[in-house]
Structure 1
Amino acid sequence: MGKTLHQGINRLMPGHFAIVKDQVMTTTKWWDLKFDNQTDKGFDYYLNQSKTLLESAIDLRLRSDVPLGIFLSGGIDSSAVVGLLADKVKEPLKTFSIAYDFGKNFDETQYARMIAEKFGTDHHELKITPQQFKDFIPQYIELMDEPVTEAAAISLFFVSKLAKEKVTVALSGEGSDEIFAGYDLYQYMNVLEKYRGVVGQSGSEFFAGISNKILGESHKVSKYLNMATQPIEQRYKGMSTYPDASKEALYKPDFKAKLDAEKQKTNHGAFSKQLFENMKGQDQLNKMLYFDTKTWLVDDLLIKADRMSMATSIELRVPFLDYRLVEFAATIPSHHKIKKGEGKYPLKKMMEGILPNDIIYRKKMGFPTPLKLMFQNEMREYAQDLLLSDDSKLHSFLRKTELSSL
């Protein structure tokens, strides 16, 4: 079982069950995701089967004796749920969107409105202010139970609160990126692998060294060149990858020593290593999808979606994570998932003719949150006080000079 921050409390890992008998508990894995790309039945087969399964998954999640709505960001995932659902209901669907008043980079409501108008939904929107965001942070920490630093979770709380005024059950688009390979990072990693194959490890190291001297470690080019020196099993740490060097620069020496000792004692990294071991012989994309399904999906996306929706007494349902669709998607050959530079290719082709192309092929945003702008402006004093005040407990662990420069 996985450890938590609470002493004596463990969590049951995904796909496991526990039996307690005579005061002894045993855990057993009863389900795992199996990838099989050995057979290629042609793109049209995977396209049609995926659509059939997604429609069935949506039908199942329509079963409700209470009002039902959809969290509509205006991206392809939530829009697909609306597009495939609109003809199945008698009353107009209720849709809910959230945004920040910081310009178009943080406001997807124009796309949500486009979908709402196309399918005649009963649409509701809310704009969040920096003050609301700041005021909610203490409650967010309390509701999450554990440290999940995900700004989009706060947006999820507010959209759930908005939806609760009208509905009790909501559908959303979580899981699509993990089953159909929607993140740009997958394509970056594939490029790095080709680069490794062309120049070899010694070439990668040479260019990474030059890059560090010219550009500095924080530069994106340098980051990816450095990653190119490592095999996928070492360089891929999931969607929330944050450079170790940047983190360690913050640590006080005695705190870093404690961390290093704890890592040795607990066999730090064994879980990640086992995930890649489970996928031995699979191609690079499948390894990343499996890794993210076991980490990012359950430890970030679903935790925040579940906790924030239940905090407002909304039951959230996620049709893309119907086990039949997830298992089938794992059999789709990787070259059908990323095609012509487009991730999530089966879903995009599936929705052509149903959704506008402006929705299908626009860049993914996903509850964009203007953290940088807020911390530079309206929330600057709040951040400074939290991080730099003399009584901050952070200074027991982190260098005040480094916090100040941040």
Structure 2
Amino acid sequence: MLKCNGQDKPTLTISEYWDLKFDNQNDKGFDYYVDESKKLLENSIDLRLRSDVPLGIFLSGGIDSSAVVGLLAERVKEPLKTFSIGYDFGKGFDETPYAQIIADKFKTDHHEIKITPKQFKEFIPEYIALMDEPVTEAAAISLFFVAKLAKEKVTVALSGEGSDEIFAGYDLYQYMSVLEKYRNVVGQRGTNFFAGVANKTLGKSHKVSKYLTMATQPIEKRYKGMSTYPDAQKEALYKPEFKALMEQQEQVSSRQFSKQLFDKMAGQDQLNKMLYFDTKTWLVDDLLIKADRMSMAASLELRVPFLDYRLVEFAATIPSHHKIKKGEGKYPLKKMMEGILPNDIIYRKKMGFPTPLKLMFQNELRDYAETLLLSEETKLHQFFRKDRIEQLIQEHNADKYDHHKTLWQLVVLEEWLRKNS
């Protein structure tokens, strides 16, 4: 905002125009929250139907995009146009059969595409250019290809982004609750034990090390959003001088920002703290950037019904014990869609644009990654230890440990440095 008082020079000020407030102390009953959430979602979809151009839906076969199709199908006369993507790497990386179930049920005009490792690899430089920042979201590449497919038929598309952040859909939220229970039971001696085991697994298992490290800390310190990554794993890569610089910078930047977010949620329960944190970080800095950049790269307008501000604000009033119930996240949404979607779709495990990076780094991307990350021209070596990068590659190729997430992050950062240095 620019301000000018009399003869004074204009000054630039930054002010927050909206913030999410959690107030779920007054429990109005589970059925009330289901009914109101459905009304708000239907109204949100109605608003996003307003278009003078053809409209379609990104359909993954998960509950979020399927819910949009299910609620929208009865509102239109012509068959909905739906679009899906998958990889030919087996069931773990191909959701198109689930998408086809929804397409058949609601008789949509369905289109799907399978992309190859060769297409994935060739698109990486363009992905780096389109994202501007080194965003390490491999699913963004899948999103570009499905947006490109959709653009052949429509100009506007709807998607299911945001549902996990407002209704607590990620498994990580439940893992965190389990960790908190263990912390309360075992006390300080137990957390010291967790810390010792975490150090022994450093460099071996990203997932094991991550959760053991988390078990040693309170929620305000251990939770850094959906992209949570163990500090010890990162520091094992750092050169000593770079590690010292990062420690100095983090004291005044990211750590302070995280603290401010948790301070705002003082007095709230653990789930609300995580949902607020992810809404202010992961959602806006990863998911929506990915969705916006990749869809607009294909000249496609993307609309997200779950993120209508009224639905987001209402979801923040739903008590946490209603959002996660009987081991199921997004419980209000799941109950809302019973009778509309098949239960096999509603209650199946979340996948979300799965990308076979582990397999590709062992095969089609193997030589590319080695050359990019271990050559004399590699710019990452000014920050990271070359011997550690080489160790990660060797362990991954030998199928000793799964380092695909770290390798992908290094690849993206290296390509970005080469383009912008």
Q: Quick one: which of 164, 172, 183 aligns to 2:151?
A: 164
Q: Quick one: which of 315, 324, 328 aligns to 1:329?
A: 315
- 1:277 maps onto 2:263 in alignment: yes
Alignment partners' CA distance in 2, 1:221 and 1:101: 29
- What's the % identity of the aligned pairs? 79
Partner-residue secondary structure (3-state), 2:24: coil
Partner-residue secondary structure (3-state), 1:386: helix
- Which piece of structure 1 moves more, 24-33 or 38-47? 24-33
Q: How does 1:305-384 map onto structure 2 within 5 Å?
A: 305-384=291-370
Deviation at 1:254, TM superposition (A): 2.2
Alignment partners' CA distance in 2, 1:237 and 1:128: 32
Deviation at 1:202, TM superposition (A): 2.6
Q: How does 1:72-111 map onto structure 2 within 5 Å?
A: 72-111=59-98
Alignment partners' CA distance in 1, 2:108 and 2:254: 49
**Contact 2:2/2:10 (CA < 8 Å) preserved in 1?**
no
**Contact 1:205/1:226 (CA < 8 Å) preserved in 2?**
no
- 1:19 maps onto 2:6 in alignment: no
**Contact 1:101/1:127 (CA < 8 Å) preserved in 2?**
yes
Deviation at 1:392, TM superposition (A): 1.3
Alignment partners' CA distance in 2, 1:317 and 1:211: 42
Alignment partners' CA distance in 2, 1:262 and 1:34: 30
Q: How does 1:5-404 map onto structure 2 within 5 Å?
A: 18-19=1-2, 21=4, 22-210=9-197, 212-213=199-200, 215=201, 218-219=204-205, 220-264=207-251, 266-404=252-390
Alignment partners' CA distance in 2, 1:210 and 1:378: 34
Partner-residue secondary structure (3-state), 1:384: helix
Alignment partners' CA distance in 2, 1:165 and 1:47: 36
Residue identity opposite 1:239 in structure 2: M
- Which piece of structure 1 moves more, 303-312 or 390-399? 390-399
Deviations 1:86-124 (A, max 9, x none): 010111000000111111100000000000000000000
Structure 1, gaps ≥5 residues long: 1-17
Deviations 1:126-168 (A, max 9, x none): 1111111111111111111111110000001001000000000
Residue identity opposite 1:88 in structure 2: R
Alpha-carbon distance change, 218 to 405 in structure 1, aligned in 2, over 3 angstroms: closer
Alignment partners' CA distance in 1, 2:328 and 2:112: 30
Deviation at 1:263, TM superposition (A): 3.1
Deviations 1:271-302 (A, max 9, x none): 10000000000000000000000000000000
Alpha-carbon distance change, 380 to 309 in structure 1, aligned in 2, over 3 angstroms: same
Deviations 1:216-267 (A, max 9, x none): 5644445323312211000001100111111111112222223233334x34
How many pairs align? 387
Structure 2, gaps ≥5 residues long: 393-421
Q: Hey, what does 2:399 align to over in structure 1?
A: none
- Which piece of structure 1 moves more, 125-134 or 19-28? 19-28
Alpha-carbon distance change, 267 to 160 in structure 1, aligned in 2, over 3 angstroms: closer
**Contact 1:19/1:27 (CA < 8 Å) preserved in 2?**
no
